[in-house]
Every structure is written in C-alpha cells, then in structure tokens.
Amino acid sequence: MRRNAILFSSKKIGSMTVKNRIVRSATYEGIADDNGLVDNRYVALYENLAKGGVGLIIAGFAFVKENGIAAKYQTGIHRDECIPMLKKSVETVHQINENVKFVLQIAHCGRQVDPNIVKEKKIEPIAPSPIADKSIGIVPKEMTTKDIEDIIQSFIASAERAKRAGFDGVQLHAAHGYLLSEFLSPYMNKRTDNYGGNSENRARIIVDIFEGIKEKCGKDWPVLIKLQIDDFVKDNSSLRPPESIKIARIMADAGFDAIEISGGIYESDEKMDPWYLKVRTTDEEAYFLPYAKKIKKVIGETPLILVGGIRSFRVAEGIVRDGYADFISICLLYTSPSPRD
C-alpha cells in the first residue's frame, strides 16, 4: 500500500521537480565558526540527510548580513567567503542523489538576537519599529527607508551567492519573529510609511526582495517562503488569521514558488503556541493543519508545505491525499539548545 502512496509521488515547485512530498524543514545547525563559515561537519550533516531519501532539503537559517546573526555558530551567506564550503555541501548532496533538491533558507534576525551576540559583536539590533522583545529586553533601532533598502539588497545578494554555490533555490525566512516576520506583524510593526499600516504595506519588503531575487537570479530559479501565520501572543494587534491568510494570498499572487506555514515567536505564550506541546498521539499531530486548510483555499496552484508535529505515515499521507497540503515538512534538530528556526 505504501508503495503507491501519494507521499512518494513527485511534484514540481516552480521549475524544480521534487521526487517525493517529504521535505526536511530548515533547522539551525549550530556548527559554523564565529564568522558564519561552515566546515566538513556541515557537509556530513547534509550528506546523511540526502542518503535518507527525502525529496527536498531546506538548509538554514543563514544570515544575510553581519547584523542579522541570531545566535552563535549560525551559518552565514553574507559574504563570498561563505560560498566554497556551501558549494561543497551542495555537490555532495547531488552526488548522493541528483534528484534530491537542496534549498538554502536565508534570514535576518531583526530584534530577535542573543544578547551575548550583541555584546560580543557590538551589533545594534534593528526592527521595523523600536519595540523591545520582552523575552530579551533589547530595544531595537527603528529602521530608516535606507536601512530597508539595504536589507533588501542584502537578501538579493545572498540569494545570488546561494545560486553560485549551486543550491536549487532559496527560502525566505518570514516566520518565528525574525526580521521579515516582524514587518508582517502589526504587533511589531507600527510604521506609518509604505512599509507599515495595511497588510500590503507590511508585506512590501518581502515582495520587493522576491522580485529582486527573480531579477538577479532568473525567473526560473525557485524562491520559497516560510510564512508566519500566528504570533501566538496575547495582544489584539498580533498577527493571526484572518489577516495571515490574506498575507498568504499576497505571497501567492506575488509568485512565490511554494509557501511553508509556521507560527510563534520568542515572546509567544506557551499555552497558546503548539511548539511547546508534546506530540504523543496521532490526534495531536499536524497542529498547523487547521491553518493549512484555510490557506490552501486562497493560494491557488501555489504548493503548500506543512510543518508542525507530523510524525506518522498515516497522518502525513492523509493530509496530502486530502489536498490540504502538497508537501509534508519534518524538522530534525541537530543541536540543543537552539534558537527557534
């Protein structure tokens, strides 16, 4: 029966054919040096994942600018020196199986940064608005229009580096309270210019980055997004449905090649955020499925990737078979403790 499962059928993400519906979701590796450069441990990690038979591997999360690092030992894609070992990891994965697709998640931490990193690297955290992260206590600098333009170019340049390294595409990290997620959330974005206010304005930076990457790297090179659908914060201004569903539609209309949904930030209430739950039975699996059912209805043909506590074949197969998602994403932790990725 499993031989004919839809989970093991191929499907396209943009121009990229993924051999099955199983995705390894981006996870903090914690094995880079102080400059974000990786070594053979990184190569070996992804070599082993490729041997496991997954259709799509998303590596992450790689910071796009020096002030965008969230935690120690995080992978960087912020300068050309990062390329050689990343290229080696891509070549190794493709040597294991040329049909395994390998995508790099790119990110900027925004206001969510380890305070020790701020002290050691003398970084000034930035954000859409000068609102402190209650879990960290640091008030970020409010970004100017020039700062926003600079970040947009940093994402575009990092995507181009990823392409030179041989990755099959990139995924923008716009979830979990990092910078792009901060722009989306009215809880963290109080701007009154073109990057604040209504949903379209708060999504503008992401659309600008997407369009810039497509112009720089080619329209056929896949660009995915990990998209915030709920902040899980007890505040009426926080991001949650139905607005997050509207934003998913904006991303689909912009042309993203696939959308992976997730939720929660460092400040999330533990009683609201399912990330803190222990999945013990199949009934507790797929805690983002209710969101997927709504989002799938509004994003048209854009492939939807579902992550979140999915453990069993029966649940995963049922979700894809019933059309609630196109791919099942599984997060494999490599180090502990780790930042939310």
| Active site positions, annotated | 178
Tally of CB atoms within 10 A around 137: 8
The Cα 170–Cα 160 span in angstroms is 9
DSSP state of 142: E
Residue 1 bridge partners (DSSP): none
The Cα 229–Cα 240 span in angstroms is 6
Q: Provide φ and ψ at 18, rounded to 5°.
A: -95, 130
CB 277 within 8 A of CB 255: no
Task: Retrieve residue 329's tokens.
Answer: 């994403």
What is the maximum span of the chain, computed from C-alpha positions, in angstroms? 57
The Cα 274–Cα 150 span in angstroms is 35
CB 261 within 8 A of CB 227: yes
SS3 content of the chain, % helix, strand, coil (to 5): 35, 15, 50
Region of 142 on the Ramachandran plot (φ > 0 left; ψ -120 to 50 alpha; else beta):
beta
